Chain A
Amino acid sequence: MTSVFGIPVAVILGQLMLGLVNGSFYAMLSLGLAVIFGLMGVVNFAHGAFYTLGAFAALLALQLFGINYWVALIVAPLAVGALGMAVERLLLRRVYGLDPLYGLLLTFGLALICEGSLNQVFGATGQSYPVPPALAGGFNLGFMFLPLYRAWVIAVSVVVCFSTWYVIERTRLGATLRAARENTPLLQSFGVNVPLLMAATFGGGVALAALAGVLASPIVLVNSYMGSSLVIVVFAVVVIGGMGSILGSIVGGLALGVIEGFTKVLYPEASNVVVFLIMALVLILRPAGLFGRD
């Protein structure tokens, strides 16, 4: 078998593929975080909690109302997004104009509330969400067996990430959003409802997290902790990509997935920390992040 650096090519291809799947989750989560930060200046520590809520929304929809995966894929992010808008209107709004650290602390508290309550209500062990029948099975790529569902995750992530990037960077709506961050009074004097825009932005960002949660629910056990460790990794991805940079978060997320994948083969013990090492390296070489603009 051909090999590079002593690793068979088949293994390399396999890990590349798996890295892309994991990177898809990182990309979608860091994208939502970057949107919220880039357009609102808020670091959303509760992002992992919203991801968890997305998965729970899908699970409960199935158990209580028999709503299937495909509907949940739309409904769960919408429901969580609406909750996010309520959070923005009722709580987050009150810390605008203060030191941004208060936004971080507020969302940290929200994450604890969410995690603690889910754990009490639904138990600590977690529950399984079935893979939708249409996406069961998989195909043999020659170098590995790829479950159909994982391929679907990559596809959804690419579409969602690209659309989000397009809306924010290339459309009039995106321009308005960016303007709201730069100069709120000016935009308001043009008759734009900035508070509503802010609520919608936060809602949209957390809806992305919820979508990632729904996508993850058939792969991992749905429990109250599923998002808490992920959020720290995603923070690091956002720092690497450049805070608030949409493109940076997408590229950073995918790249991290792949790098992590190779670490799992070469030095598995370090696969959970490699992201933090890369972050340290990036900070030394390019403090603003790879795609940062400041």
Chain B
Amino acid sequence: MKLRMLTLATTAALAAAAGGTARAADEVVIGDIDDMSGVYADVMGAAGVEVVKWAVADFGGSVLGRKITVLSADHQNKPDIGAAKFREWADQNGLNMLLGGSNTGVNIAMAKVAAVKHVPTFHIGPGGASLSNEDCTAYTVHYTYDTVALANGTATAIVNAGGKTWFYLTADYAFGTQLQAAASKVVEAHGGKNLGAVRVPLGAADFSSFLLQAQASGAQVLGLSNAGTDFSNSLKAANEFGITKTMKPAALLAFITDIHSLGLPAAQGLYLTTAWYWDLNPETRAFGKRFYARFNREPTMDQAGAYSATLTYLKAVKAAGSTDPDKVMAQLKKAKIDDMFTSGGSIRADGAMIHDMYVMQVKTPQESKYPWDYYKVVKKMAGAEAFGPITGLCPLAPAPK
């Protein structure tokens, strides 16, 4: 009796699994796992899923004669949920490619799954440079940006423009210290000086005390090594206390949504680095217009990146004539990426997508002529300079001699 039930159940499960595989064979499945409900939900989030679907539709809805399906899930900033969803899709839905949204911790956890399940994984939202270094896999593509490129861009531009002495307001955890370290290195390499830093606990209620300490240092530049609400609130307080009159603020990680929520009066003059901006050229403007019509705001670099990454993957599948992960990865690593996101981008052996970065300065309210007219380009930085040389930390990519 028990044995019979067990046999029945096993047969049923096997049949279900077989059914799943059969379904997957005539489909190409793209998954998007991101924070849809938490602090990062605006950076990519539900709108990110939508743009992935746009990319699929723009590609024609099918590749190699197979229909393309898009799955999405909310990792709720919990690595266990992100990793579990990824495994489930890989095992039961025949997942061919994954887009990883915000949160470096969740993305590293997913990269570990990618290594086991052999699914090409495009990390769109996380900044952690470790994804293409010690945590890299054969299936990693770190697509949009990393902390090194952001710090490189902003610090180089400011030091070259005469901002020689720096003081940092650093979020007191791994991410903040990494940003500060990356910027400090650039500042010194270009003949600037780091006068000090104050380590601020994450989510501090008030930043004014820390800012007064920064002011007392007498440095010319205030390096903000934090992100999100902490970044916005520290910049707001810097304005209120008149710190921005004596110090130049520099954001080491800021999204256009942050600038929008701060407003130009508070954000004006700020230096930052971005991978993409909607108002760069006719193609970016077209994408911005399409996005605006649907969401009533301009896209972030992550949303543009998600669109571009989907197209890049589908083009590689078409060129390779297969969804075999190793063939697709090989194709990805030799192709040039040219679309509205970037021109001449390429995926390096360590998985980092090397593309131009833009150092921006936030416009003053007078300079801004139309809605979301926020940035002026200070410098277009070549990908090789922004992302730096291969470090050798990724076992797949030995450092150049």
Contacts and interface: CB of A to CB of B under 8 A. Distances in A.
Interface of A: 11, 14-15, 18-19, 21-22, 25, 116, 119-120, 123-128, 130-131, 138, 144-145, 147, 149-150, 219-221, 223, 225, 229-230, 233, 261, 264-265, 268-273
Contacts of A14: 212
B204 A272 contact: yes
B337 interface: no
B257 interface: yes
B379 interface: no
Interface residues on B, range: 35 or more
Contact of B261 (A18, A126, A145): A126
A229 B209 contact: no
Contact of B199 (A116, A130, A219, A269): A269
A264 B261 contact: no
Contacts, number: 106
Contact of A119 (B41, B209, B266): B41
A221 B261 contact: yes
Q: Which has the most chain A C-beta neighbours within 10 Å: B213, B261, B266? A: B261
B229 interface: yes
B26 interface: no
Nearest to A149: B240
B236 A220 contact: yes
B206 A126 contact: no
A127 B203 contact: no
Leading 9 A-B pairs by shortest Cβ distance:
A272-B201, A264-B209, A124-B41, A125-B42, A125-B257, A125-B261, A128-B263, A221-B232, A124-B42
A225 B41 contact: no
Given A229-B203, A229-B205, A269-B199, A124 B38 contact: yes
A261 B229 contact: no
Given A125-B257, A268-B198, A269-B199, A225 B42 contact: no
B209 A265 contact: yes
Given A124-B41, A125-B42, A272-B203, A219 B240 contact: yes
Contacts of B208: 18, 21, 150
Contacts of B73: none
Contact of A271 (B37, B201, B212, B258): B201
A119 B74 CA distance: 14
B117 to A, nearest CB: 30
Interface string B204-240: 1110111011001000000000001100110011001
22 contacts: A15-B212, A22-B205, A119-B41, A123-B257, A125-B42, A125-B257, A126-B261, A128-B236, A128-B262, A128-B266, A144-B212, A220-B236, A221-B233, A221-B261, A264-B209, A265-B209, A268-B172, A269-B201, A270-B201, A271-B201, A272-B202, A272-B203
Given A123-B42, A269-B199, A272-B203, A15 B236 contact: no
B59 interface: no
Nearest to B300: A125
B199 A25 contact: no
Contact of A221 (B45, B210, B229, B242): B229
B348 interface: no
A130 B266 CA distance: 10
Given A220-B236, A233-B205, A268 B200 contact: yes
B260 interface: yes
Contact of B236 (A18, A25, A221, A225): A221
Interface in B173-213: 198-206, 208-210, 212-213
Nearest to A17: B208
Contacts of B41: 119, 123-124
A11 B201 CA distance: 20
A214 B359 CA distance: 36
Given A25-B205, A125-B257, A269 B42 contact: no
B286 interface: no
A219 B236 contact: yes
B241 interface: yes
Contact of A269 (B38, B39, B172, B212): B172
Contacts of B216: 11
Interface in B330-387: none
Interface string B265-276: 010000000000
B89 interface: no
Contacts of A21: 206, 208
Contacts of A145: 241-242
A147 B258 CA distance: 23
B204 A126 contact: no
Contacts of B37: 116, 119-120
A127 B236 contact: no
Contacts of B210: 264, 268
B40 interface: yes
A223 B38 CA distance: 11
B205 A126 contact: no
B261 A127 contact: yes
B263 A220 contact: no
Contacts of A225: 39, 229
Contacts of B40: 124
B42 A147 contact: no
